[in-house]
Each structure stands twice: as structure tokens, then as C-alpha cells.
Amino acid sequence: MYVPLGAGVPPGPGILFFHGGGFVLGDLESHDMICRRMAEGSRCRVLAIDYRLAPETCFPCAHDDALAAWHWISAHGEDVGIDPRRVAVAGDSAGGNLAAFVCQQMNRIKGPRPAFQLLLYPLLQFADIRSKKMSPQESGFFISVGLFEFFRGHYLPDPGTYMDPRISPLFAPAEELKGLPPAHIIVCGWDPLHDEGLAYAAKLRAMGIAVSEKEYPSMVHGFLNLTHISATARLAAREAGKITGEALGAI
């Protein structure tokens, strides 16, 4: 739990954060600085979730954990200073997949809906990466074809699950997109996931959902983990937090 100085008197707005890593890598420590900067920028409490990883646990275990975390904060948020009515879900890469999944799943079961979704260069489909026509700049920085298949092989051993909308929210039917929370989506120029982030933004917008997007043309996938060496990453993390804080009424 990250509580910035500007968080104010509890209960206040909060962010439920899921780290990236292809459902195989990553943990609370690897994404500590992202959460700190996001908390500072948003003036919100940030609750980071350490969900189960593959290959020890496969699909849908991480998604089940994300859903359990959402149900917990919806029921018990005030116990940790968070107003359950003003909670955003957020995540980078695979964590963005989990954030998008939680929003869609609440539509499917008519459960408590997040107030906002912050998707940072999200992984929105696990069907294929090879068929995409990628330029040299998209094909090997932090996430490559080989790494994508490594992640998919560990978390999704059954090829029959590749198009499941829980793991590939980009392909969810239109009726499951209606009424989703407002979203802010970040994409990177040097990233094979660039196009699916923009495609998801377009699908949400077509359903009447308020969506903003920010492209960092010179940045690579995972650049928000580089705040120790990149001024752009530091500013981007703070700005993403600020946009989320404004959406939740914290700023």
C-alpha cells in the first residue's frame, strides 16, 4: 500500500494496481517505483497486488486473483482508507490485461464497476504476435516474438484458450464493452503491443466510452520501469497518476 502525502483524510480515492511481466515475471518489488510515482501524481492510495504467476499456476489463476482483489477492495476498501466508490484499476502490460479484464468481468456479472481504468502499454490479446507486420523498431525491445511465446506457453498451455475474452479482452463482444469505465491508455512507439492498445481505445470510443490516449513514440515496452535513468519515464508515471487522480476527484 502506497500512501502519498497528498492523499488526504481517509477514506479517499484509490488505485488497484497489477504489475506486468507476461504472467510469468514481475512482483511488488519490480514495480515499486511505478507505484510510488503514480501515488504521488494521483494523490491517491495505491494498493499493489502480488498475484500468482506461471508456470506454477496457469490461466485463469492470475485472473482469479485479480478478481478476488477487486471484490475485496469493493467490500473492505474503507478498512485501508480507500473509498470503494472511487477506485481505479491500473496495470502495465500483463497487468493492463488484468485491469481490462476486471472491468469487462464486472459488466458480465453486473458487479461493482471500477470508476476508471489506466492501461499502460497493455497486453490485450494472446492470439498471435507473429502475424503482425512489425518494423525493426517493434520487434525486440523488452518484448519480442520469442518472449511473447514464452509467456503464452507458460500461462496458456491450452491453445484453445488463446481467444478467450478473459485473456484477450480486445476480442470481447461489443455488448461486454458497453458501459465500461472511462479509460486512459498509454502506448509506446517501440512496442509490438502499440497497435492493439490503440485498437482497444478505438473500440471503447465506438461504444461511447470516454477514452484518452498518450503515445510515447521514442519509448520501448516497459519504459515506466526505467524511471531511475529516464526523465521521460518519470514524467510519464507522474502524468498517468495525475490523469487518474483527476478522474477520481483526488485533484
- Residues marked as catalytic: 93, 191, 221
State the DSSP string of 99-126. Answer: HHHHHHHHHHHT-PPPSEEEEES-----
State the DSSP string of 164-227. Answer: -TTT-GGG--GGGTTTPPPEEEEEEEE-TTHHHHHHHHHHHHHTT--EEEEEEEEEETTGGGGT
Report the Cα 70 to chain-centroid distance in Å. 13
Beta-carbon contacts of 94 under 8 Å, excluding residues fewer than 6 positions away, are: 18, 19, 20, 21, 22, 23, 26, 62, 123, 151
- 145's grid cell: 516474438
Beta-carbon contacts of 249 under 8 Å, excluding residues fewer than 6 positions away, are: 13, 86
